[in-house]
Every structure is written in C-alpha cells, then in structure tokens.
Structure 1
Amino acid sequence: MTQTVIITGGAGGMGLATAKIMGRDHRVVIADVNRERLDAAVAELTGLGIEAEGVVCDITDRASVDALFATATRSGTGTGTGTGTGTGTVRAVVHSAGVSPQMGTAEQIIRINALGTVNVTQAALAIAGEGFALVNVASIAGHMTPKLLTPTRSFRLALTDLPRFVRKLTSAAKLAPKSMHSGSAYSVSKGFVIWYSQEMAAAFGAKGARIVSVSPGSFDTAMGRLEEAKASGKLVEYAALKRFGKPEEVAEVLAFCASDKPGYLTGVDILCDGGTKAGLDFESMIAMARAS
C-alpha cells in the first residue's frame, strides 16, 4: 500500500520544497487555497516523477480540512487534480500553510495560523496510528514574545471553545499599538503553534504517533521576501549566518521530522533560524517587535 503525505501550503515555498523531498518515497497530496498555484505545483512534481495530487483547502474551515484528509485516503481520481491512482495510507502531515503580517488583518492572521493549525491537528489526530507524524510549521516569531506576555490562558481555549479562542487571541494581539496589530497577531499565532504542538503530544503518543513543530527564521520564499523590509530582513542582521535560508534547507528538516527516522522525537519545537535567536538579546527583541 502506498504511503501518503499531506502537505498544506504545498503549492510553493518550503511546502513545495518539502513535497519534492518526501515525494521520493511517498504519494504527495498538496493543499492550497489557490487552484492555479496547485495545478502548477502538481505539474512540477509530476515532471520529477512524483505521484502528486492537489486539493483546494481552506484550513480555517474544519469541513474543508476533513475533505482534504478524505481525499488523501481514497483514490486520486476524487475531488483533487493530479496523478494519484490508488488508495494510500496517510502516514504523515506537514502543515506549512500560513500567512505573514503583511498578508492580513490581526483576526485573519489568528484564524489562518492558529485556528487553521487546530483544524489540521485535530483532523490528523483522528487518523493517526502507529508511526504517524504531524509537523506544524511555527516561526522564530513565536519565540520572541516574553513568557509573561504570552496569552497561555487564551491558548487553552483551543481545547474547549474555538470561537472564543479566536476572539481572545485577536484581542491579545490588539493590545499593541494599531500599527503593530498584524505583527503581534503573527507572533501570538506562531507562539500558539509551538504551545499547541507540545500540548497535543500526549494525545498523539497514546496512538503511537508523533507531533512536533519547526520554527523557521528568515527564508528565501515569497512570504519571507514580502517581509524583507521589516522583520525577516532585520532578523538576518542578528543571525550567525548572515543570509536568508534556502527553502530546501528547512524542507530537509521538515521532511526528516515527518519521516519514520526520528521515532522518539515528539512534543518539541525545532528552531531552524541560522543562529538568529542566539544573537538576540531583550533590547534587540523589542526593536524587532517594533520593526514588524
């Protein structure tokens, strides 16, 4: 039986780079909100000899996420497009879909990055079994909010009351000056991804499955370059490696975490930032927050 990996945000950037690696020994189902981007990515993967399928999915909508997972577990001739031919077992999920501060309002960022992660994680847990792995993409931004200012109590609402969870995280982001709302929402949402991936480790472990998060720093993707004039470009100044990372470099980390090789790795966040956080002190973190 063919093993399948689902990759959200798989039509570009680090998601597509991860699909190229995992496609060597997996059937790949990539998801994105844009059909044209999906079709182009599937064509590229197919040209590399990878069995690939594209599914339009809105991660803020649980029904849409469930439909993605259903498509991934049945014949590739379903609602997606691509070269899938047979039913496969979903062995891993790499959740790289998300938006940056320049791409939406505070509420939109919370809904996509935080609520979207809850939807994907819960759908993954529902099908998880022995050897399954979920990798959630967070961000170095999730490490930059002081613990005392991290709205952990609001994070816990993700376990009980999702509408209130979205409202509370959006309100927390708006405590900052108006010009910083989107940047604050991004940091809060990615801090949540790190927290939630750790919080859910026991539930996945009970099924013999793993969950980790990976926090990239500044990478040379369309999203990363969109933020270059602000946060991502500024971060490079503090990095040990004075350059943007390549999508293929973080993709290797994501693919490894999603593989069956690190079988005892779960409930942790892996920082892949070129040594950026190592070069940040409290004052520089405050400067970064203002820049974003």
Structure 2
Amino acid sequence: MGNVCVITGGGSGMGLEAAKILGKNSKIILVGRTVSKLDKALAELKTLGIDAQSFPCDAGDRESVKKLADYAAEQGTVKTVIHAAGISPHMADGEKIFAINAVGTINIDEEFAEIMGEGSCILNVSSMSAYMLPEANIPRQLYQLSLQSTKAFLAAANQMLSAVPEESRTGMAYTISKNFVVWFTSRMAVRYGKKGIRIVSISPGTFKTPMGEIEGEQAASFALRGAMGRLGEPEEIAKMMAFMVSDECSYLCGVDILYDGGSVAAMKAMQEDKAQQG
C-alpha cells in the first residue's frame, strides 16, 4: 500500500508546500478544518501528479484526531506526520489559541504514535515566539500536567490566562502554547524513541503565507530587522521540513530547529547591546 504522509494545516502555506515535496514518494493526506481550502489544495496537488486525499479534522478534538489516525493507518504505512495546524493571536481568543496549538499537539502526537512504528517521524510546528518567553516565565508545572491529564492541563491554562489583562491574553496564549510545543516534543521523543519514532519540531519565523499575512506588519517588520532582513518563502521551510522527516535525518530526535532567518538572533543581539550601553 505504500508510505503515507499526513499533513495537518495542509490546505495552504508551508503545509501545502511540504506536501508538494513529500508527495513525490508518499501518499499525502491533507488535514484541516476548512473543507473548501482542502479541496483547492487537493486540486493543486493532483495537477502535479501527486497521490493525495483530504480528511477534515479538528486537531483540538481528541475523537476527531483518533478517527484521522485510524483512517490514515488504513491507507498504508504512516511514515510521516507534519503537524502544521495552528492559529495566531489575530485569529481567536486566548483559550481557543491554547486549545488548538497546545492540546492539538498532544492529540496528534499521542494518537499517531499509537499507529506509527520503526523509521517514522512526527514533526510539530512551533514558532520563533517560543524563544521569546523568558526562562523564568516558563510555566513548567503547567506543562507537566499535560503528561497526566489533558483536561486538567487545559483547565489550568485557562485559569492562568484569565488572570492576565484581556489585551495581553491572546499574545500570552500564543507564546506559551508554542513554547509548550517545543517542550512537549522533547518529552514525546523520549517516550516514543525506543519504538523507533522520531519526534522533532521546527520554529518558523515570518513567512509569506496566509497566516503571515494575518499577522500583519508587526511580524513582517520583525523579520525585516532580522539577520537576513527579509521574510521567508514557504518553499524554503518546506524543504527543511522534508529534510527533517527524511531518513537522512535518522538521528535527529527530541530537538527544535529555529528557522527564522536570524530574527531571534538579531533581537537578542539588540537586547545585549542595549544592556551593555545602559
């Protein structure tokens, strides 16, 4: 039946570009919540001769993800999962952002690890914002809850968010949820590595994608002040994703790759220079 590659958030942007590369050697299952977007992406892949299909799924809903994993396993050997689905501070309230970005990652990783085996890889997509959370502010006790009860984890996260001013809530939810993705990736890698499943993550900077457009001028200006002074092209990160999940990276496990054109490096350099001057 051949190898299967599942891509959440595959209806556009970097997920779709990754599908164009990985579809050369695998059957693609594009996953998302918006059927019309999936249909459009599917048509584009089919014009390229790629064997692809779509499956509507809400990553934040455990039962929905379980159905997706079961379906994918019926289509062949699930070799690769790229979990690119997520929402930014401009797309929903804090609670929804946390539920999709953080709980969605828990659901995808745990359900797919049950049906994947030796030589497979799960790639979670975080964000460079994960690197902007000061070490002292990382809520590690909250993160630990995710290993015991997703329900308790989400309830504690919502309680934490409700304690901050409303205007700061979405930004905080996004930053912490993406920092959590990096943390959770490392923990899942330890849990499932002996089974032969590599779990890694990538933290994109600002790219020319639909989500990048929604994030607006502030995100763009951050990229323009970065080391490379430009926004990234979706094809650039898609190539990196494809490399990370390939057998050529068979020893890459439990780590995050910051793929941001040097934006975080430029920010840290500026902060250090300012501290020296002050």
Q: Secondary structure at the match of 1:5?
A: strand
CA distance in 2, matches of 1:283, 1:257: 30
Q: Deviations over 1:130-168 (max 9, x none)?
A: 101000000001111001101111011111111221122
After superposition, residues 45-124 of structure 1 pair within 5 angstroms as 45-74=45-74, 87-124=75-112
1:209 aligns with 2:197: yes
* Alpha carbons 1:173, 1:188 under 8 Å: kept: no
Please report how far the alpha carbon of residue 51 of structure 1 lies from its aligned counterpart in structure 2 after TM superposition. Answer: 0.2
Please report how far the alpha carbon of residue 170 of structure 1 lies from its aligned counterpart in structure 2 after TM superposition. Answer: 2.9
1:145 aligns with 2:133: yes
* Alpha carbons 1:174, 1:184 under 8 Å: kept: no
CA distance in 1, matches of 2:101, 2:133: 16
CA distance in 2, matches of 1:278, 1:162: 34
1:37 aligns with 2:24: no
Of the structure 1 ranges 235-244 and 10-19, higher mean CA displacement relative to structure 2 is found in 235-244
Q: Deviations over 1:19-48 (max 9, x none)?
A: 001001110001000111111111110110
Q: Deviations over 1:228-260 (max 9, x none)?
A: 233x12321431111110111111111111111
Residue 51 of structure 2 aligns with an amino acid whose one-letter code is E
Residue identity (%): 40
**TM-score, with structure 1 as normaliser:** 0.90
Residue 43 of structure 1 aligns with an amino acid whose one-letter code is A
* Alpha carbons 2:5, 2:78 under 8 Å: kept: yes
1:243 aligns with 2:230: yes
* Alpha carbons 2:73, 2:115 under 8 Å: kept: no
What number of residue pairs does the alignment pair up?
272
Of the structure 1 ranges 200-209 and 12-21, higher mean CA displacement relative to structure 2 is found in 200-209
2:220 to 233, 241, 250: 233
* Alpha carbons 1:105, 1:182 under 8 Å: kept: yes
**TM-score, with structure 2 as normaliser:** 0.94
CA distance in 1, matches of 2:217, 2:172: 17
Q: Deviations over 1:89-144 (max 9, x none)?
A: 11010000000000000000000000000000001211121101000000001111
CA distance in 1, matches of 2:158, 2:271: 25
Of the structure 1 ranges 213-222 and 171-180, higher mean CA displacement relative to structure 2 is found in 171-180
Residue 263 of structure 1 aligns with an amino acid whose one-letter code is S
CA distance in 1, matches of 2:15, 2:163: 32
2:260 to 254, 273, 276: 273
Q: Which runs of 4+ in 1 moved over 6 A?
A: none
Q: Secondary structure at the match of 2:200?
A: strand
* Alpha carbons 1:128, 1:204 under 8 Å: kept: no
CA distance in 2, matches of 1:260, 1:282: 35
* Alpha carbons 2:57, 2:68 under 8 Å: kept: yes
Q: Secondary structure at the match of 1:103?
A: coil
Unmatched tracts of structure 2, length 5 or more: 273-278
1:135 aligns with 2:119: no
CA distance in 1, matches of 2:205, 2:11: 20
